[in-house]
Structure 1
Amino acid sequence: MTPTLQTFARALLTPDLSFRTLADARVAAGPDGLPRLMRTTRFAEAEIAWRGERWLLFLPLSPAALHTVERTASQLRRIDTDRLAEYRTLPGELLWQDAAGSPQRTTLVLQHLPAGRSFDEALCSEPGQRLLDALDELRQALREIGFSHNNLRPENLCWAGGRFIPLRYHDARFGPTGSDDEAFEALRERILQHSGPPTLSDTTASYSPRRRLTGHRWTSHAFEGLVCVEDEGGYGFVDTDNRPVIPARFRWAGDFREGRAEVETETGMGLIDREGRYVIRPEYEIVDYDPAQSVARVRQHGRWALFDYLGRRLTEFGEADDREETD
């Protein structure tokens, strides 16, 4: 069971009542006094101040997302490097109540946010060659420790102390199999394109405002022409003109990828198509769709099986749950 974004926002405003470790944390708020929240397909994110430092606090929005970060945090504990910011799980950190009034606890993810500037800010203030050298140094350092970020984009890099520090390791891979080479080349190209004096066209081209969709508790970004929204009845989808497409009937929903979206109902997790029809019925503990392979990894009674794009089971439920136990 996963708390809603509203539950997370309320907890950030009352940390002494809602958090176990972060009871004295202060959330970064907007002009309206409400927490500044960001949301991706699988995580909600807020910036907090705690113990004199800035941190990113993440709420996994599905059991599959929690499973991923637990494995990442476990692997990072075995790596001794100053090129990665601290990243760890806080088991049972968030205390909240479900619809029946029963107390629940949810694990959160905490990452240190170095004092520095964003990638785009560094582009406007640092010589291009210095940024290119720093990018090459980071690539070599990550290769030496066998770390692949797997989602290395400008917004996931911080310029601090004359070097780039990666952030948001949710999809990290470890060992010789992973590679960020294409991402590094894209970053290099972006630096080369902006290494000269910024012009008005350069500045305006990078800004792409998102049309505001009103009448919802919360809205995501547009993915494949559909926007995940939260209404009174739960999560659903509208098109980019704010017209309802899939009714808001889910306890949680992820964004569409390759015409598939993970959803959660009272009976479990499932997978839907763009018409809202179930490709995988919502009766499983975890449904984690991989658009790169067009398969879903599904857990039932602690064991895993693979399902194809059409929802057909490819393997038996035989692989045991290999998550590490947390206190």
Structure 2
Amino acid sequence: MNWKNIKVNAEGNGFCLEGQAIFGPYKSVLKFHAPGLAPVEDETGSYHINSEGMALYRQRYLRTFGYYCERAAVSSEQGQFHIDTKGNAIYGERYDWCGNYQQDICTVRKGGEYFHIDLQGHPLYEERYRYAGDFRDGYACVRQADGYCLHIDSQGRALHPYRYLELDVFHKGFARAKDEAGWLHIDLAGRPVYNRRFLQLEPFYNGFALVQNQGGEHEIINEKGDCQHKI
């Protein structure tokens, strides 16, 4: 059957197809991801099943997560790591925490320090951070030891010289950022695209963004920071 049509049931402990139960009940499940595998947990432990409801491997883990880039994070007594679509460990290292692969790159934590690894589990750079987020469109946000955030590329190089108190990934050429005066949008060069600052804001959506101004009012602004109307 087509795994894309298999849904998690309302109880979160099994799967259904066209409204009919097909697998379960389990203790817990997560949805199917390409290439058609899903994490489940029963009395034996956590593992993955295929679209026929069969266990992918004999090993059991403390917890299993969804597949991304044909790799899934799993949690064992020795730590967290990634397995391939046959259930084999990708690398020998064990981490305190693993994220999910995005754009063939994954965030991990070891000894309280965050960094990124490639598909084979090799660190992409030597620097270590207080926190490191997922890559999107070639760049990721990281938080340095001094608390300031910056954008880096897949080789760990800073995209621009600017540092912010808070920082988000780029969306349609702009990123959310926060400096000492408040929230704003910046361009790919790290520069503010307008002079205003806000209490909070959303990413631009087709040229406009929802913000909350310093007076607590909600506005829709354009990419120049001009108010189009208040909500």
**TM norm structure 2:** 0.51
Structure 1 residue runs of 5 or longer lacking an equivalent are 1-82, 85-113, 117-129, 139-158, 167-183, 320-327
* Alignment match, 2:141: 228
Q: Which residue among 195, 198, 203 is the counterpart of 2:51?
A: 195
Structure 2 residue runs of 5 or longer lacking an equivalent are 1-9, 39-48, 58-83, 91-99, 107-116, 118-122
Cα separation, 1, equivalents of 2:182 and 2:130: 23
The 1:163/1:189 distance shift into structure 2, 3 A limit, reads farther
Alpha-carbon deviations, 1:50-73, whole Å to 9, x = none?
xxxxxxxxxxxxxxxxxxxxxxxx
* Alignment match, 2:128: 215
**TM norm structure 1:** 0.38
- Paired amino acid for 2:191: R
Q: How many residues are treated as equivalent by the alignment? A: 153
* Alignment match, 1:246: 160
Cα separation, 2, equivalents of 1:216 and 1:191: 32
Q: Percent identity?
A: 16
Correspondence 1:158-173 to 2 at 5 A: 162=26
| Structure richer in strand, relative to its length | 2
Which protein, 1 or 2, shows the higher relative CO under an 8 Å CA cutoff with sep ≥ 6? 1
SS of equivalent residue, structure 1 residue 223: coil
* Alignment match, 1:131: 15
- Paired amino acid for 1:235: C
Alpha-carbon deviations, 1:99-155, whole Å to 9, x = none?
xxxxxxxxxxxxxxx9x7xxxxxxxxxxxxx6334x8469xxxxxxxxxxxxxxxxx
| Structure richer in helix, relative to its length | 1
Are 2:172 and 1:258 aligned? yes
Cα separation, 1, equivalents of 2:134 and 2:198: 27
Q: Which residue among 188, 213, 219 is the counterpart of 1:274?
A: 188
The 1:282/1:136 distance shift into structure 2, 3 A limit, reads farther
- Quote how far apart the aligned CAs of 1:248 are: 5.3
Are 2:224 and 1:311 aligned? yes
Say what the alpha-carbon RMSD is for the aligned residues: 4.1
Correspondence 1:15-54 to 2 at 5 A: none
SS of equivalent residue, structure 2 residue 203: strand
Cα separation, 2, equivalents of 1:262 and 1:290: 9
- Paired amino acid for 1:190: G
